[in-house]
A and B are shown apart, each in its own frame.
Chain A
Amino acid sequence: MPAVSKGDGMRGLAVFISDIRNCKSKEAEIKRINKELANIRSKFKGDKALDGYSKKKYVCKLLFIFLLGHDIDFGHMEAVNLLSSNKYTEKQIGYLFISVLVNSNSELIRLINNAIKNDLSSRNPTFMCLALHCIANVGSREMAEAFAGEIPRILVAGDTMDSVKQSAALCLLRLYKTSPDLVLMGEWTSRVVHLLNDQHMGVVTAAISLITCLSQKNPDEFKTCVSLAVSRLSRIVSSASTDLQDYTYYFVPAPWLSCKLLRLLQCYPPPEDGAVKGRLVECLETILNKAQEPPKSKKVQHSNAKNAILFEAISLIIHYDSEPNLLVRACNQLGQFLQHRETNLRYLALESMCTLASSEFSHEAVKTHIETVINALKTERDVSVRQRAADLLYAMCDRSNAKQIVAEMLSYLETADYSIREEMVLKVAILAEKYAVDYSWYVDTILNLIRIAGDYVSEEVWYRVIQIVINRDDVQGYAAKTVFEALQAPACHENMVKVGGYILGEFGNLIAGDPRSSPLVQFNLLHSKFHLCSVPTRALLLSAYIKFINLFPETKSTIQEVLRSDSQIRNSDVELQQRAVEYLKLSSIASTDVLATVLEEMPPFPERESSILAKLKKKKGPGAVSVNELEEGKREGGELNGGGERGGDSSAISTPSPSADLLGLRAGPPVTAAAPSAGSLLVDVFSEAGSGSLASYFQFVCKNNGVLFENQLLQIGIKSEYRQNLGRMYLFYGNKTSVQFVTFTTTLNVQAKPVEPLIEGGAQVQQVINIECLTDFSDAPLLNIKFRYGGALQNLTLKLPVTINKFFQPTEMASHDFFQRWKQLSLPQQEAQKIFKANHAMDTEVLKAKLLGLGMALLENVDPNPENFVCAGVIQTKAQQVGSLLRLEPNAQAQMYRLTVRSSKDTVSKRLCELLAEQF
């Protein structure tokens, strides 16, 4: 018999539990349980009415059986009966059973809700708490419907006991999470906020969780909580460790409440009121100071509680990202933790520094810890800590330290855990490409990568190195020499053979002058690997061979012999056989000139975004792409923008023509280089018929070309290109009549080059407008057109379809980073949301095309729901870059969409939301 039993100890239950524990096998346990279930069933069905105690005991046994992992399909009714018992202990077990095993049976829900209602109105605080706990534990919609109106009243009523208030606050929070539409604070808002001032610390602790959640969703209504939270925090931070009695935890005053206060403040921007802000900064400084004081206790609980507050304070400092002094102090503090003996602190410091690395104020300070982080990568015994260190190295990497970091990551790769190798390989490949100043270093790095971790080098990585070598002639000779050397190794990875085959086939001639790498030596080296390779690699090598015949006529007979051998020309693999046959024939019948033309050096690849980034984004690994991917865009964007001129006009549009060419905006046909996503959508001007008179301005949100306006007389076509914060728009004025338009003038509310004053019948004139986006904007520039047609003055005003989204640069990121960014943009005003009816058929491909046309990167495999679309991009304006994230959730059944946009600037979120709501 167990010696342990407390309170009312149900003896029968204890015996049953003992029996189960004594069962020697799973079968014996199941047998014992089935026996018990049969017993309970018969008791419940029996004629004799059970007393409350027995009912409680059996219900408790059922609960125990369920918690062991078995299914329970009866006893719910008996549990519900217990709810209306006036014995506390029976009621309590009844509620526990319901909380754990809630059943959606509508009949029961009605009965349960009735019992809860009775207890809520009983004015017995113990019963009220039980009922509130049950609602909070179940949190179903039915309960929200029944009680969401009642609970706020209980929460703020003057005569409610403190313990009931605490339960009510968290109960409401749970209901708000499940059914936000049913929980309406309305008139109670200000009284709920003032719970932050409550004398009872427990009430404040419970209420603040509710207030934080409500503030995230309704920031404006709750913004008065900021000053209250600051003054509460300030009182706690400055209190002596004994002031708060039982709310002091191991000499730390109210650690839970402090963390929650700091968390609540992260829902808002820094306080505008100078006094409040001053007080808050003081609090943050005090918290940072306390970290330097000697500990008041040696217990780990003391340091954990103290550091929990410190980390939350640092999160707030990073969230504000506006106090350079605090940011640097935070960074120094974290730097100390990097070498702390507690693994937990090292882990958290590495994690927190990752976000600090993306702030311009602390990026440099973070970089000073590079040696410590590298050391962590080498020596930490816990793989999850090493992973954090690798993430941080990736985040702190820039041009100044790229060589060192890449070298360290490469050496770590030699011994890295298998689980993270592929991700590490991608990170190294990205950093090497991103920060490559000299391309020989880049080539060395990638070849090293293949040598060290060949199995983890995905196709994207070796494709990319070939693309870059092909496109840059200054590195081709070096690449040929390096792969040639790498292939000398007795055992080299197949990926190395692929790269080697391709590069020597193209550029082997560059090293053929050296007798040690003469054409035949090169060929023999490649061919020595041939038999160890898979079919696709062999196919690639055969192509390299035919290229050799062109590059080095002296190898022709040797190679033809190889091609002619049975193992090639009769290879059972069709692809190999075909290549051998065709290449052999080609080399025997084509003249040197023809051969040279067919086998000419590969043309440069179109410059496009790194496919490796796309790959990394697909990998669902922690920290797959650095959080500062957006920031990166910022820094680089900054340099490019340097050439732009500010127009005299305060409007967002001006005409900075002189710098346009510098930025590679060509006057020719549509650019494909800048935005691959837009490329495919660039359609022939006028290919889409404008539907008569006023073509919608909104129609151009997701496309750049088309007919802006058309009537009987005039057709106006638009072709436009955008890059960074600059754009160029071509307007084509077509005279549809056979009569001249005279005194044709256009005025833009900003300056534009004049247009030809005369348009012949049937003719078209062109006008070019250069655009620079100085800052974000909502209003479109207006274009006024006046002309005389057969004596009658025509006057027309059109909105030029220049919308803020035209200045998007797509940003690729991985799921993890997307959500991290998303959470960072959690200020209420940073989000704009619209729910609207579908105007067009909900075709996935059409939606995708539209979102691509918007200019953001459409991110695959980010949203857990494959029906949803998420996009990321940075709007380039001269004044600043505005990172934006978008999520579109189609609901095919309701023919509705929900669109959510988060940007670092509120006006941008709002504007994007308005523009897009018209598109789908």
Chain B
Amino acid sequence: MQFMLLFSRQGKLRLQKWYVPLSDKEKKKITRELVQTVLARKPKMCSFLEWRDLKIVYKRYASLYFCCAIEDQDNELITLEIIHRYVELLDKYFGSVCELDIIFNFEKAYFILDEFLLGGEAQETSKKNVLKAIEQADLLQEDAKEAETPRSVLEEIGLT
């Protein structure tokens, strides 16, 4: 896989993961082009399209589009299920995931993705194993939090 993009029906990019080195300018151009192309497609159309020399595999979940770019010899259907498994992981972790979860916890969405896919290839396809890794990390955070000194009042009401 060369990259994965998550964007909303309004065309707002929610997550971007690039597995090939590209300049920021190039990334923005690709994103613009693809968001436009995919949003223009009708619901019953097929989930695959040819784009430049890549194959685009996309699927819409509620208000979010998940869109992957794969190479010529890669398998479209299994990529579609990569997307689905990622959605399942998000869903399980956040408990009925919605777009807001991904906006406010974008860093978590990245961490989960890194456990699932690395360098554009599946690292661990077992839902249990991926979530175990993330939950372990969360536990480490909890421990760390308890040890911290109380934060200022200003911080608590979110003014810093």
Q: Are the CB atoms of A823 and B122 closer together than 8 Å? A: no
In the complex, whether A531 has a CB less than 8 A from a CB of chain B is no
A171 vs B114: C-alpha distance when bound (angstroms): 11
Q: Are the CB atoms of B81 and A249 closer together than 8 Å? A: yes
In the complex, whether A775 has a CB less than 8 A from a CB of chain B is no
Q: Are the CB atoms of B118 and A256 closer together than 8 Å? A: no
Q: Are the CB atoms of B129 and A202 closer together than 8 Å? A: yes
Question: Which A109-159 residues have a C-beta within 8 angstroms of B?
Answer: 126, 129, 132-133, 136-137, 139-140
Q: Are the CB atoms of B158 and A15 closer together than 8 Å? A: yes
Q: Are the CB atoms of A8 and B114 closer together than 8 Å? A: no
Q: How many residues of B contact A (CB 8 A)?
A: 69
Question: Contacts A89-B140, A170-B118, A256-B78; is A381 near B53 (CB within 8 Å)?
Answer: no
* Partner of B46 from A96, A174, A315, A343 at Cβ < 8 Å: A343
In the complex, whether B62 has a CB less than 8 A from a CB of chain A is no
Q: Are the CB atoms of B129 and A92 closer together than 8 Å? A: no
Chain A interface mostly: helix
A459 vs B141: C-alpha distance when bound (angstroms): 69
A266 vs B148: C-alpha distance when bound (angstroms): 54
In the complex, whether A209 has a CB less than 8 A from a CB of chain B is yes
A11 vs B105: C-alpha distance when bound (angstroms): 11
In the complex, whether B16 has a CB less than 8 A from a CB of chain A is yes
In the complex, whether A866 has a CB less than 8 A from a CB of chain B is no
A700 vs B137: C-alpha distance when bound (angstroms): 68
In the complex, whether A636 has a CB less than 8 A from a CB of chain B is no
In the complex, whether B136 has a CB less than 8 A from a CB of chain A is yes
In the complex, whether B26 has a CB less than 8 A from a CB of chain A is no
Q: Are the CB atoms of B140 and A88 closer together than 8 Å? A: yes
CB-CB < 8 A to A140: which residues of B?
21
Question: Contacts A5-B105, A96-B107, A819-B72; is A305 near B44 (CB within 8 Å)?
Answer: no
Binary interface encoding of chain B residues 102-128 relative to chain A, with 1 for a CB under 8 A from any of its CBs, else 0: 011111101100100011111111111
Q: Are the CB atoms of B125 and A249 closer together than 8 Å? A: yes
Question: Which A189-237 residues have a C-beta within 8 angstroms of B?
Answer: 201-202, 205-206, 209
Q: Are the CB atoms of A174 and B119 closer together than 8 Å? A: yes
CB-CB < 8 A to B48: which residues of A?
344, 347-348, 384
Question: Which B77-110 residues have a C-beta within 8 angstroms of A?
Answer: 77-78, 80-82, 84-85, 93-94, 98, 100-101, 103-108, 110
Of A306-314, A666-674, A745-753, the one contacting chain B is: A306-314
In the complex, whether A74 has a CB less than 8 A from a CB of chain B is no
Binary interface encoding of chain B residues 139-153 relative to chain A, with 1 for a CB under 8 A from any of its CBs, else 0: 011101100110100
B23 to chain A: closest CB distance in Å?
12
* Partner of A381 from B45, B100, B123 at Cβ < 8 Å: B45
A390 to chain B: closest CB distance in Å?
13
Q: List 13 A-B contacts (CB under 8 A).
A: A6-B94, A8-B144, A53-B151, A89-B140, A136-B119, A167-B118, A202-B125, A206-B121, A246-B127, A305-B77, A381-B44, A382-B42, A384-B46
Taking A87-B144, A126-B136, A249-B81 as known contacts, 8 extra A-B pairs with beta carbons closer than 8 A to each other, sorted by chain A number, are A7-B108, A11-B156, A67-B16, A89-B144, A166-B118, A170-B123, A256-B78, A348-B76
Contact surface of B with A, Cβ cutoff 8 Å = 13, 16, 19, 21, 28, 42, 44-50, 53, 72-73, 75-78, 80-82, 84-85, 93-94, 98, 100-101, 103-108, 110-111, 114, 118-129, 133, 136-138, 140-142, 144-145, 148-149, 151, 155-160
Contact surface of A with B, Cβ cutoff 8 Å = 2, 4-8, 11-12, 14-15, 17, 21, 39, 51, 53-54, 60, 63-64, 67, 69, 87-90, 92-93, 96, 100, 126, 129, 132-133, 136-137, 139-140, 163, 166-167, 170-171, 173-174, 177-178, 201-202, 205-206, 209, 245-247, 249, 254-257, 259, 263, 266, 301, 304-305, 307-308, 311-312, 315, 343-344, 346-348, 381-382, 384-385, 622, 816, 819-820, 823, 826
Q: Which 6 A-B pairs have the closest CB atoms?
A: A15-B158, A308-B77, A174-B119, A308-B78, A209-B121, A88-B140
